[in-house]
Structures are given as structure tokens and as C-alpha cells.
């Protein structure tokens, strides 16, 4: 009993120290987290090359070279179109925002005309407070992002450091796994390995499946809004697809930007705005009904409400980095919670009856 308590205390302290370290270093961990995700995604490919007789270092170099060539080809093919749209979008953005504000003001005026004087006063006061709060929040976020050139630093660190992290992690992946395995307490090694296997299964299903979800969703958004005649549909759709790696965020971001651009482009044309919204619903429906179940399945094993909670909690604790890792971390925690619940339901704590010594991991 004393040994079990010492082990529990040790692991609780270890987890607490690990969480504190992550929180303290969250501002510099982004390229390493991105690198780990990419290495985890590509590790099965390197393993297959290794089974074909290609050394791990050479296989890693081949994968990195192929990835860079593919990225360059895609960049060269899409760059002229993306460059033109990005430049045009930047130039048109002030006018689009101004027109969208006019449309919003017109809509508010139309609603106000149907209200009594007392109701108009209450609504105006509420809108004013909401506007001030939203402006203060946006200003605070943008100020933190731009302070010290953090956006530029993060972008450069991802572009420069992440490839190095990916190369070394891919090359030494098996050694790292073996080293971690050698540190596990021998008494519980089989149980820990089994839970690690389940966590790996959940993470693999999410990470590798979500990449396909991003590509398909981004393509569908871009095509749909382009057909609808929305300006800058390509960059809006592709960026929404990129953010789809964070569940719910990509689609809502794309819809918000598309509606703002649509309001600036078409005015208060409910038919056009309705088409933009309908395309969003169609893509979301296709993603939830076909794409997500096929590519990701139920590997994460979490209810949608828990995913939303994980996103909010991750963002509150670690900022953008926390949002990126929220769902994979929640999937891992879910595996451990199910394991703990399974053992609790079989223990005397639940049944209230004395039970024989339980075999660890059963």
C-alpha cells in the first residue's frame, strides 16, 4: 500500500511539473509541437521505407526532400493566383468592412423601426456595450499578438525550426520510444503499454484523418463560394480548410469572413447571403456525415461538447498552442479516464464488497 501511494504521489508530482513547464514555455513550443505532429504523421512512411531495406536516416532525408519538392510545386502552381487574391483582398478589405458596416447599420435601423422608443433605447444601449467589449477584446488580442513582433517570430520559427525538429524526430523516433519505454515502472509496464497503444490509435485516427478533412473541406468551401460569385473565395475557403484542423473553428471562421465579404460585395441581398450560408451548411453536413466518419471515425471517442470544452480550456491555459493540441490531448485523457473508470467499476470502492487482489491492468 505504501509503495502504491508513493508511486501515485510521484506521478502526480511529475504530471504537475510537466504541466507547469508547458505553461511556462508555451510561447516557444509552437514549432516543436508542429514538428512533433508532422513527424508523428510521417513516421509510418519512414517505417515502411525501413522495412524495404532503406536506412532510417536516408528514409527520413527522402521523405523530407519529397515533402519540400511537393510543397514547392504546389506553391509555384498556386502562388500567382493566391498572390493576386491576397493583394486584392488586402486592398479591398477597408472598403469591404465599411460596406459591411453600412449593411449592418441598415439592418439595425430596419429592426429599430419596428420597436417602441423604450425598446430602441434598451437595444441601443446593449449594442453599444457589446461593441465596446468586442472592440476592447479584439484590441487586446491583436496587441498581444503584435507586441514584440510575435507573429513574425512565430512564423519564422515555424518555417526555420520546424523542418529541423521533424528531421531529427523522424530519424530518432524508434530510439526515443525505446528510451521512454525503458523508463516505465516494470511492475506496470504492460498496462502502460496497452494504454499507450490505445492513445496512439486515437491520435493516429485524429491527426492523419484530420489532414484529409482539412484538404477536402477547404476545397469544397473554395469551390462552392467561387461558384456563388463571392470575391476572394479561394483564399477564404483554403484558409477555412487549414483551420479545420481545429474542429469547428475553421468553418465558423470561413463563414464569418465570407458573410462580411458578401455583405460588402452584395449589400443586404438575402438571396446571395443565404447562398453563402447554405454552402457552409452543405460543407459542414458533408464533413460531419461522410468525411469525418470515414477519415477520422470514432477514434477520438469524445462527445462534441467535450471537444468544445477542450478547445476553450486549451485556449485559456496555453493560448493558440493550447487550441492546437486540445483535441489530441483530450483524446489521450479520454483513454486514461475510461481505463480508470473501468477499474473503478470492478473495484470494491464501487461494489462495496471486499474483492480479491486485482491483477494490474485488468
pLDDT digits (tens, 9 = 90+) for 59-98: 888 988 888 888 778 777 766 766 677 777 777 777 777 7
Give mean pLDDT, residues 249-253.
80
Q: Are 240 and 250 in contact (CB under 8 A)?
A: yes
Residue 287 has pLDDT above 50, yes or no: yes
Which percentage of the chain shows pLDDT scores above 70? 76
Give the start-to-end residue ranges of the domains of the chain.
182-362
Q: Are 222 and 238 in contact (CB under 8 A)?
A: yes
Of the two residues 153 and 362, the one the predictor is more confident about is: 153
pLDDT on residue 96: 73
- Range of 16-20, 224-228, 241-245, 256-260 with top mean pLDDT: 224-228
Choose among 173, 172, 177: nearest CA to 193. Answer: 177
pLDDT on residue 278: 93
pLDDT digits (tens, 9 = 90+) for 122-172: 656 665 665 555 455 545 544 544 444 444 455 566 677 888 888 888 888
Q: Are 199 and 301 in contact (CB under 8 A)?
A: no
- Please list, in sequence order, all residues whose beta carbon lies within 8 angstroms of the beta carbon of residue 331, skipping any fewer than 6 positions away: 199, 202, 203, 206, 299, 300, 301, 302
Q: Are 241 and 217 in contact (CB under 8 A)?
A: yes
pLDDT digits (tens, 9 = 90+) for 158-207: 677 888 888 888 888 888 888 888 888 888 888 888 888 888 887 777 77
Q: Determine the Cα–Cα distance for residues 35 and 242; give it in Å rounded to an integer.
A: 16
pLDDT on residue 275: 92
Of the two residues 346 and 150, the one the predictor is more confident about is: 346
pLDDT on residue 224: 92
Residue 214 has pLDDT above 50, yes or no: yes
pLDDT digits (tens, 9 = 90+) for 35-64: 888 888 888 888 888 889 888 889 888 988
Residue 1 has pLDDT above 60, yes or no: no
pLDDT on residue 124: 61
Of the two residues 350 and 158, the one the predictor is more confident about is: 350
What pTM was estimated for this model as a whole?
A: 0.63
Amino acid at each position: 500500500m505504501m509503495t502504491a501511494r508513493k508511486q501515485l504521489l510521484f506521478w502526480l508530482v511529475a504530471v504537475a511539473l510537466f504541466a507547469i513547464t508547458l505553461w511556462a514555455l508555451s510561447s516557444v513550443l509552437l514549432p516543436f509541437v508542429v514538428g512533433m505532429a508532422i513527424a508523428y504523421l510521417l513516421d509510418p512512411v519512414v517505417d515502411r521505407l525501413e522495412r524495404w531495406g532503406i536506412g532510417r536516416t536516408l528514409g527520413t532525408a527522402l521523405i523530407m526532400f519529397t515533402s519540400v519538392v511537393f510543397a514547392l510545386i504546389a506553391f509555384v502552381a498556386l502562388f500567382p493566383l493566391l498572390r493576386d487574391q491576397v493583394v486584392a483582398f488586402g486592398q479591398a478589405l477597408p472598403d469591404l468592412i465599411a460596406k459591411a458596416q453600412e449593411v449592418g447599420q441598415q439592418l439595425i435601423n430596419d429592426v429599430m423601426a419596428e420597436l417602441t422608443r423604450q425598446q430602441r433605447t434598451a437595444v441601443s444601449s446593449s449594442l453599444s456595450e457589446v461593441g465596446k467589449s468586442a472592440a476592447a477584446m479584439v484590441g487586446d488580442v491583436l496587441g498581444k499578438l503584435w507586441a514584440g513582433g510575435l507573429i513574425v517570430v512565430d512564423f519564422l520559427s515555424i518555417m526555420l525550426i520546424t523542418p529541423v525538429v521533424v528531421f531529427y524526430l523522424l530519424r530518432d523516433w524508434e530510439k526515443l520510444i525505446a528510451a521512454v519505454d525503458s523508463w516505465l515502472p516494470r511492475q506496470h509496464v504492460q498496462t502502460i503499454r496497452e494504454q499507450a497503444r490505445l492513445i496512439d490509435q486515437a491520435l493516429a485516427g485524429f491527426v492523419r484523418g484530420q489532414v484529409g478533412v482539412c484538404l477536402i473541406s477547404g476545397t469544397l468551401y473554395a469551390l462552392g463560394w467561387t461558384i456563388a460569385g463571392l470575391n476572394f473565395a479561394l483564399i477564404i475557403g483554403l484558409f477555412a480548410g487549414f483551420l479545420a484542423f481545429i474542429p469547428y473553428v475553421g468553418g465558423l471562421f470561413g463563414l464569418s469572413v465570407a458573410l462580411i465579404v458578401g455583405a460588402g460585395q452584395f449589400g443586404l441581398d438575402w438571396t446571395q447571403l443565404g447562398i453563402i450560408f447554405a454552402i457552409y451548411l452543405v460543407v459542414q453536413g458533408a464533413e460531419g456525415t461522410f468525411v469525418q466518419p470515414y477519415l477520422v471515425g470514432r477514434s477520438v471517442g469524445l462527445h462534441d461538447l467535450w471537444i468544445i470544452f477542450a478547445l476553450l480550456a486549451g485556449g485559456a491555459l496555453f493560448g493558440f498552442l493550447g487550441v492546437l493540441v486540445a483535441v489530441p490531448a483530450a483524446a489521450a485523457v479520454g483513454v486514461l479516464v475510461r481505463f480508470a473508470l473501468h477499474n473503478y467499476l470492478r473495484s470494491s470502492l464501487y461494489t462495496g464488497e471486499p474483492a480479491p487482489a486485482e491483477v494490474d491492468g485488468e
